[in-house]
Amino acid sequence: MQNKPQLTVVKIGGNVIDNPDALKAFLADFALVEGYKILVHGGGKIATKTAEGLGITAVFHEGRRITDKPMLDVAVMTYAGLINKDITAQLQSLGNNAIGFTGADGNLILSEKRKNAAVDFGFVGDVISVADELLKVLLLQNIVPVFCAVTHDGKGQLLNTNADTIAAELAVACSAHFDVKLLYCFEKKGVLTDVENEDSVIKNLTFENYQELREQGAIHSGMLPKLENCFNALNRGVTSIGIGSPEMIKGGSDYTLITP
């Protein structure tokens, strides 16, 4: 059986996106990652700041953004426009032939408006499918896809979609063709048992450990959806998953390795 080529899917978010110097340093490291790769980014704080400048108040429910029509417009402008094209241009300057995408481009990520939720989150999408064959063709042409947190429903409606979920769904879909490593990079060193202690990194987190720590309340609530995505992706074909600081992609720091 022929070995599958290596693919690295990296999701970057948190304060790294908001800090131009940190983003520049991360992209310089990402540009050096060998093999096929995909970058997925968020940008919620920039979207909130942009909305405020336009007189639009960002509304959240339990940490999740409510996306009404004005907020969707802001999300598309900032995610698919400002942030995505800035990242794409920087990667081009670093020798990576990057192309920026929403899920609507090439019908790469099809979603549906979230339903049956206790709260109406507005124009928020849940991923239905990924066009893995087209993505494979792009990757084999040495294109570096850069995905923002915007998808579509196939009926002309753009949808704000969680970037962590997009990264996981891309990784799962591509595992049919590649040996996929999924990395979640943010401002912390990894999954912490104490959010006040940067050195309380859990080096290896299995599903059994995760369940125990969750029941004990030892994992910060904001990390729970990310970890659910991780274990779901592992069960659906992704080879390995890491969570940590941006230095993780060059092996320069401790991080949390997620295993089944």
Alpha-carbon Rg for the chain, nearest whole angstrom, is 18
List residues bridging with 41 in a β-sheet. Answer: 12
The strand ranges marked E within the chain are 6-12, 36-41, 59-61, 64-66, 98-101, 109-113, 125-130, 144-147, 150-152, 158-160, 179-185, 204-205, 240-244, 255-258
Whether residue 139 has pLDDT greater than 60 = yes
Tens digits of residue pLDDT in 201-220: 889 999 999 999 888 888 87
Q: Measuring CA to CA, which residue among 169, 146, 38 is closest to residue 83?
A: 146
Residue range 122-137: average pLDDT? 97
The annotation status of 13 as a binding-site residue, yes or no, is: no
Which H helix or E strand runs over 154?
Answer: none
The rounded distance, in Å, linking the Cα atoms of 231 and 241 is 9
What residues have CB less than 8 Å from 52, skipping those under 6 apart?
58
Tens digits of residue pLDDT in 88-123: 999 999 999 999 999 999 999 999 999 877 888 999
Q: Measuring CA to CA, which residue among 17, 23, 21, 29 is closest to residue 8?
A: 29
Whether residue 183 has pLDDT greater than 90 = yes
Contact 250, 29 (CB under 8 A): yes
Question: What's the whole-number average pLDDT of the chain?
Answer: 92
The annotation status of 160 as a binding-site residue, yes or no, is: yes
Q: What is the pLDDT of residue 216?
A: 86
Whether residue 77 has pLDDT greater than 70 = yes
Residue range 64-78: average pLDDT? 93
The annotation status of 44 as a binding-site residue, yes or no, is: yes
Neighbours of 124 (CB within 10 A): 21
What residues have CB less than 8 Å from 100, skipping those under 6 apart?
80, 84, 85, 87, 88, 146, 147, 148
Least confident of 58-67, 127-136, 148-157: 58-67
List residues bridging with 147 in a β-sheet. Answer: 40, 101
The rounded distance, in Å, linking the Cα atoms of 19 and 255 is 21
> What's the whole-model pTM score?
0.94
Secondary-structure class of domain 6-258 per CATH: alpha beta
Q: What is the pLDDT of residue 253?
A: 66
DSSP 80-98: IIIIHHHHHHHHHHTT--E
